[in-house]
Amino acid sequence: MRLSRYFLPILREVPKEAEIVSHRLMLRAGMVRQESAGIYAWLPLGLRVLNKVCAIVREEQNRAGAIELLMPTIQSADLWRESGRYDDYGKEMLRIRDRHEREMLFGPTNEEMITEIVRGYVKSYKSLPLNLYHIQWKFRDEVRPRFGVYRSREFLMKDAYSFDLDAEGARHSYNKMFVAYLRTFSRMGLKAIPMVADTGPIGGNLSHEFIILASTGESEVFCHADYLDKAVPGAGTDFEDRAGLQGLVDQWTELYAATSEKHDSDAFGAIPEPRRLAARGIEVGHIFYFGTKYSAPFGAKVQGPDGAEHMIHMGSYGIGPSRLVAALIEASHDEAGIVWPEAVAPFRVGILNLKTGDSATDAACEDLYARLVAAGIDVLYDDTDERAGAKFASADLIGLPWQILVGPKSLAAGKVELKRRVDGTRELVSPDDVLERLTA
């Protein structure tokens, strides 16, 4: 992409409403624009990151055996009356009437709908286990939206719902998601720690929150420091190996880790003092097992091998990609701007033409650009006639992991500079070597 043709409204000054660093940087980097309290338009740069986050979420959900579908944003009130949550949910639910005065709502979650869908088709234990997920916009009419897309009213959510014949099967489904979550966050460059969680209004008795550590996090968390160095299960993990998967989950839950709501100071105190970690954290995922809480009121049951009818055991598993984008920035930024992990960077590489109009510099940039594009690399070519300093500032602000600085100085020696955003280091290398390095 040529910057001169792109839509990247960078702000030099910070809109005053932005309090936390991720919100400020997202506005400055031209990633989002507020349209209403807690409602945002995703501008091209922000959308690129959001899509990359979703792609990783999808890959790991699919790897763990979950199947994607797509449910609507608008649901009927009747569906929610069936579970009894229409009245319970309160003012957080955005209620709407259509032209026929039918009561509708903008979905805050989809347990009811997915249960209704499965009830309609699944009649035999042979169809189980089943895990269906979708990535869809949701709306919760928060009393006080804040922190940009971190706590917005409209937000993108991946929610998966598992269906099993019995509690043991459900436990296995839970473990699949548990491992999938470890992998998902790890691939985004985050260290996410599963913590024992309150099951909240959704209910159930088995639940973990996935927390990443960030000084700006809103919850207080306590855990064993060994979690920070734990190896995440590999891509070759056999998700059908029940015992093996349980072993992985056990490894990841045997050490102490809890949010302040579930904090047990005795257990925490039992950790050797130097390994005690009290920090602030951001919740980026939450998984639940809730048994027959929804299948019972919906009459979602299957016939088992014994010929009898069994209530389906369910779990649900959420990740908020829109929130994750903010969380990623909270976890990775500096004074100059965002420091994207490569896996989610809007563009992996930036080419900075430090002297637009100079024929040698222009030619070298065009050549590099063409070759990187041909190699299938996401590259943003700053071909504008801004001064070098402004280009450095912009590239650092939007967090491009690799920046190729092309100017007359280094070009005189047949070189360009390859700069790493994460530590600011630069190397003088030939254009051919840059290609080599970035495509390796």
Partner RNA sequence: CGGAGCAUAGCGCAGCCCGGUAGCGCAUCUGCUUUGGGAGCAGAGGGUCGCAGGUUCGAAUCCUGCUGCUCCGACCA
Out of 8, 10, 130, 343, the residue judged to bind RNA by CB under 7 A: 10
d(CA 315, CA 289): 4
| 24 is a contact residue toward RNA (CB under 7 A) | no
DSSP for 120-172, written as a single string: HH--BGGG-SEEEEEEEEEE---SS-BTGGGB-SEEEEEEEEEEESSHHHHHH
Out of 216, 232, 417, 438, the residue judged to bind RNA by CB under 7 A: 417
Phi, psi angle pair for 54, to nearest 5°: -60, -35
* Beta carbon nearer to RNA, 291 or 399: 399
Segment near RNA (CB under 7 A); pick from 65-73, 243-251, 272-280, 283-291:
283-291
Structure tokens at 254: 């045997």
* Beta carbon nearer to RNA, 272 or 357: 357
DSSP code of residue 230:
P
* Beta carbon nearer to RNA, 286 or 313: 286
Q: Would you tell me the crossing angle of helices 321-331 and 21-28 to the nearest 10 degrees?
A: 100
Alpha helices in 202-341 (DSSP H): 242-253, 265-269, 295-298, 321-331
Residue 345 C-beta: closest distance to RNA, Å: 17
| 382 is a contact residue toward RNA (CB under 7 A) | no
Phi, psi angle pair for 244, to nearest 5°: -65, -45
| Contact mark string toward RNA, 200..229, x via CB under 7 A | xxx------x--------x-----------
Q: Partners of 72 in the beta sheet?
A: none
CA 198, 81, 159, 165 torsion-angle sign: positive
Out of 56, 188, 405, 435, the residue judged to bind RNA by CB under 7 A: 405
* Structural contact between residues 397 and 28, judged by C-beta atoms closer than 8 angstroms: yes
* Beta carbon nearer to RNA, 169 or 431: 431
* Structural contact between residues 65 and 245, judged by C-beta atoms closer than 8 angstroms: no
Residue 152 C-beta: closest distance to RNA, Å: 5
| 106 is a contact residue toward RNA (CB under 7 A) | no
| 12 is a contact residue toward RNA (CB under 7 A) | yes
* Beta carbon nearer to RNA, 71 or 122: 71
| Contact mark string toward RNA, 33..72, x via CB under 7 A | -x-xxx----------------------------------
Task: For the segment 74-103, give every residue that binds RNA (CB under 7 A).
Answer: 91
Residue 13 C-beta: closest distance to RNA, Å: 4
Residue among 172, 176, 271 nearest 227 (CA) = 271
Degrees (nearest 5) of the Cα angle 370, 405, 44? Answer: 65
* Beta carbon nearer to RNA, 119 or 421: 421
Segment near RNA (CB under 7 A); pick from 50-58, 75-83, 297-305, 392-400:
392-400
d(CA 233, CA 207): 20
d(CA 64, CA 129): 12
Out of 81, 275, 426, 437, the residue judged to bind RNA by CB under 7 A: 426
* Beta carbon nearer to RNA, 227 or 317: 317
Residue 390 C-beta: closest distance to RNA, Å: 4
DSSP code of residue 200:
G
Segment near RNA (CB under 7 A); pick from 160-168, 175-183, 267-275, 280-288:
280-288
Residue among 140, 432, 159 nearest 314 (CA) = 159
Which residues bind to RNA, rule: CB under 7 A?
Answer: 10-17, 19, 28, 34, 36-38, 91, 140, 142-147, 150-153, 155, 157, 200-202, 209, 218, 283-286, 318-320, 322-323, 336, 354-355, 357, 386-390, 392-394, 396-397, 405-411, 417, 419, 424, 426
